[in-house]
Amino acid sequence: MLSNRFLAIGILLLLHVLLFTGYFYLQPVIDYAALPQFDGHQYLRLYQNLLQEGTPYEVSSPFHRRVFIPWLATLLPVQDPILSFQILNLIFGLLTIITLYFLWQHLEVPFFWMLAGFAWLWFHWLGPIRQSQLDPVTLDVATYFFQALLLLILVKKRYGYLLLVTPVAVLAKESFLALLIASLFFVVYCRLKMADEHSSLFFSLSVAVIMGIITQIIANQLFPPIEPGPGNLIVLAFYLKESILHPLRIVRWLTGIFVAFGPPFILGLLKFHHLPNSYFHRLLIVLAIVSCLLGLLGGEDLSRLVYLGFPFVMTSLLLILKEIKEIRIAWLALLMALPVLRLFSAIPLPQEDWQAYASWLPRFSTFPTLLTWLGYAFLCAVLLYVADRYILRSHR
């Protein structure tokens, strides 16, 4: 059993390295000097400030406090900062694969469905291989790891590890703190009985949230932004107001969800009743919903921010899909997902052809393009619903 586990992990890690290496040569890297609006431009500044002590700290809010990954990049014996981030993306990608494997194995996800989940991670153009080759100076891959680790801690009930993980994860990206707060609200809302495991979770989450807030305060003091920026709550309120005043933004967000997770997400909604109603599974759904909402309220890059919730959304989908007795409908969903993955195209370089690059992103898509994606989503929903009804009737 143990040897089979190590063999499976070894195969998955080897596949990840091979695919990472392949896209390393197939997918060109953007020119950050020509694209100051990209987040990576700020992380490169942060990297240079941390590498050269005494230089003015000229990093904008909220990037100024996301110091962990750029700091790790400065420790690598590599002169090229972009290569340093690419190495870290590979390392955190491998850590994500290992963490997700143990998580999904604990949840009794069959290996076939694990491969489907990993394939979505490997081949989707928003995933940690293809997207991080286009835009390697990023925190996204580390974000996948910390979120997967959060789920593993929760499902194994090793709540004390939250106190070790939280300060590091918050210094990587503050969205981890939002997930902890959402989890804490869920615990309080459910009015858990005073069983040891529940009181331990409440205590650990409470302390972790406090530690996360203190970590942010200290980071703000040690690494002040070049100019004051709005707080996290103000940012959320701003994008909430924008979404209310401009409903097309919500349409773009819904399109972004479909672009991120495709027909399997629709099948998951149709088969949602298959998800067990246990405490962990309800918390998992809360985190999946919060991660999708952060895509709407956390910034402008809707589809990428939604895809960052991969550990929560895909884990939920796999738990639903593994309960489907008729495998043909799952194969249909995967087959219809091929246009979403864009397997046979390299992501356009924005500095060379901005219009081509923008056409891939729902936030920039023209209204006809949005209608095309939504129309395809509706078609997938209809076909999956009809196929499901047909299969149910044929079994009666």
Instruction: Check if the beta carbon of residue 62 is closer than 8 Å to that of residue 174.
Output: yes
In sequence order, which ranges of 272-326 are alpha helices (DSSP H)?
Answer: 279-297, 302-307, 310-321
Query: How much is the mean pLDDT over the chain?
Result: 89
| 308-345 pLDDT per residue, tens | 999 999 999 999 988 887 778 888 898 999 999 998 88
Distance CA 191, CA 199 (A): 10
Locate 305 and state its tokens.
């921010």
pLDDT attached to residue 52: 79
Report which of 182, 112, 197, 199 is spatially closest to residue 147, judged by C-alpha positions. Answer: 182
Domain count, the chain: 1
Average pLDDT over residues 78-91: 94
- Which stretches within the chain are classed as H helix? 2-26, 39-51, 68-75, 81-106, 111-123, 130-134, 140-156, 162-172, 175-189, 196-222, 232-245, 247-270, 279-297, 302-307, 310-321, 327-336, 338-341, 354-358, 367-394
User: Distance (Å, rounded) from C-alpha 113 to C-alpha 132?
Assistant: 24
pTM for this entry: 0.93
Which residues contact residue 195 at a Cβ distance below 8 angstroms, ignoring those fewer than 6 apart? none
- Taking 50 as the threshold, does the pLDDT of residue 168 lie above it? yes
Domain holding 72, by residue range, is 2-394
Is the pLDDT at 151 greater than 50? The verdict is yes
Q: Which residue has the higher pLDDT, 194 or 164?
A: 164
pLDDT at 280: 87
Please answer whether residues 9 and 17 qualify as being in contact, where contact means their C-beta atoms are separated by less than 8 angstroms. Answer: no
Is pLDDT of 162 > 80?
yes
Q: pLDDT band for 192, please (50, 70, 90 cuts).
A: low
Query: Mind listing the pLDDT tens digit for each residue in 260-299?
Result: 999 999 999 988 887 888 888 899 999 999 999 999 988 8
